[in-house]
Amino acid sequence: MINLAGRDILHSWGKFVLTGMGLGLLIGVTLTMAGVYRGMVDDAKVLLTNSGADLWVVQKDTQGPYAESSSIKDDVYRQILGLAGVARAANVTYLTMQVRHGDKDERTMVVGFEPDQPGEPGYLVAGRRLVRGHYEAIADVKTGFRLGERIRIRRHDYEVVGLTSRMVSSGGDPMVFIPLKDAQEAQFLKDNDAIIGDRARTAANPSLNRPGVPGLLDAINASQSSNRNVNAVLVRVEAGTAPDAVAKEIRRWKHLEAYTGTQMEDILIAKLIATAAKQIGMFLAILVIVSAAIVAFIIYTMTLGKIREIAVLKLIGTHNRTISAMILQQAVGLGLIGFAVGKIAATLWAPAFPKFVLLEPADAISGFVIVMVVCALASTLAIHAALKVDPAEAIGG
């Protein structure tokens, strides 16, 4: 038996391909939206993986350091190191800021870390690790910085000595790693004008500037111009130790909050990007509905254009199932062309997106199944119209 759908497609392949390409671009947008969500999730997971920690110790009653601000003293890590099962503990700071690069600003997350400790970038794609205590930086390639370039962060310039990749914040901002002390200063210390102003106010305050207490004013000024805070302590537990058990000990005895990797992933994915995920979900749902409407409209219009032929086919004895199959196959054919175009388009334009777009094969398979189902459902309108055609229409006026 002749494949009527195939013949029709071959006969008017130009129209089919163009229509399929139009649909394909829409499918490409849908796949990209899914990729944007996957990219956000992946960014969140990468952030956790790259930190190299089993536990995140943060300020009590906060969900820091990524979802909320957290501030703890930088000597806390010593107490944590004393707990059973803790192999390593290190201070880190995270500060999202605009970093000047040439004549434009780059939004980055500046990370303060201690060399050879959790929080250090796991690998470099160029350059070397930090060896000096100050004013050196490792930048993610996505920042656009190159080796030897200088980054201005607050009051100081930092030389880029290493490049890393896929080191991004949960929001997709590329990271710049600098020594912890510098990062503490960048995050917590005031600028010179503010310090001078504070000193003047302190000196003018009689309760803080007592003539009978020599050294008090200097001590207060010294405390105001130094900072001992960090955002979190990253903990790596000993082999065979359950992170949950150590987290429980930290919560109980140190009056701090401690999160395991699973809990932190939950905070990042289920809470931090939950609204964005819902937003994307809405877009996906709308795009699927729009795609379905377009396929239904195209197939319906194509079918209406063949009403006379369908009437003749029915008159000469063609089964309804043959006609239905023809329309269904055309809808599915259109979906196949559309999906192929959409997948190729999404693959080509994904790298151009400013944030990471992760096109998962599983999403492509799901997308393919959804496209086929949507096309099949969309063809029902046209099939209904075709089955209503009276074979008598082929005879007479």
What is the binding site for other proteins (CB under 8 A)? 1-2, 4, 7-8, 10-12, 308-309, 312-319, 322, 390-392, 394-397
Instruction: State the nearest-atom distance from the C-beta of 38 to other proteins, in Å.
Output: 41
Instruction: State the nearest-atom distance from the C-beta of 337 to other proteins, in Å.
Output: 17
Instruction: State the nearest-atom distance from the C-beta of 1 to other proteins, in Å.
Output: 5
**Residue 12 or 96: which CB sits closer to other proteins?**
12
**Residue 206 or 397: which CB sits closer to other proteins?**
397
DSSP 8-state class, residue 168: B
Contact 98, 107 (CB under 8 A): yes
The two beta strands, 175-179 and 126-127, are unpaired
Instruction: State the nearest-atom distance from the C-beta of 321 to other proteins, in Å.
Output: 11
**Residue 124 or 312: which CB sits closer to other proteins?**
312
Instruction: State the nearest-atom distance from the C-beta of 283 to other proteins, in Å.
Output: 38
Instruction: State the nearest-atom distance from the C-beta of 327 to other proteins, in Å.
Output: 13
Instruction: State the nearest-atom distance from the C-beta of 377 to other proteins, in Å.
Output: 25
What does the DSSP assignment read for 218-264?
HHHHHHHT---EESEEEEEEPTT--HHHHHHHHHHHH--EEEEHHHH
**Residue 62 or 318: which CB sits closer to other proteins?**
318
Contact 359, 48 (CB under 8 A): no
Helical ranges in 260-351 per DSSP H: 261-265, 274-304, 307-315, 320-349
Contact 310, 317 (CB under 8 A): no
Per-residue burial over 288-323, b if 16 or more Cβ lie within 10 Å, else e, is beebbebbbebbbebbeebbeebbbbbeeeeeeeeb
Contact 320, 387 (CB under 8 A): yes
**Residue 29 or 313: which CB sits closer to other proteins?**
313
DSSP SS3 for 122: coil
Instruction: State the nearest-atom distance from the C-beta of 13 to other proteins, in Å.
Output: 10
**Residue 53 or 302: which CB sits closer to other proteins?**
302
Structural tokens at position 71: 């501030």
**Residue 312 or 372: which CB sits closer to other proteins?**
312
Contact 96, 67 (CB under 8 A): no
**Residue 288 or 334: which CB sits closer to other proteins?**
334
**Residue 316 or 352: which CB sits closer to other proteins?**
316
Least Cα distance to 162 among 142, 182, 141, 183 occurs for 141
Structural tokens at position 262: 């699973």
CA distance 203 to 205: 5
CA distance 251 to 42: 29
Cα distances (Å, whole numbers) of residue 385 to 38, 153, 299, 323: 40, 67, 11, 11
Instruction: State the nearest-atom distance from the C-beta of 317 to other proteins, in Å.
Output: 2
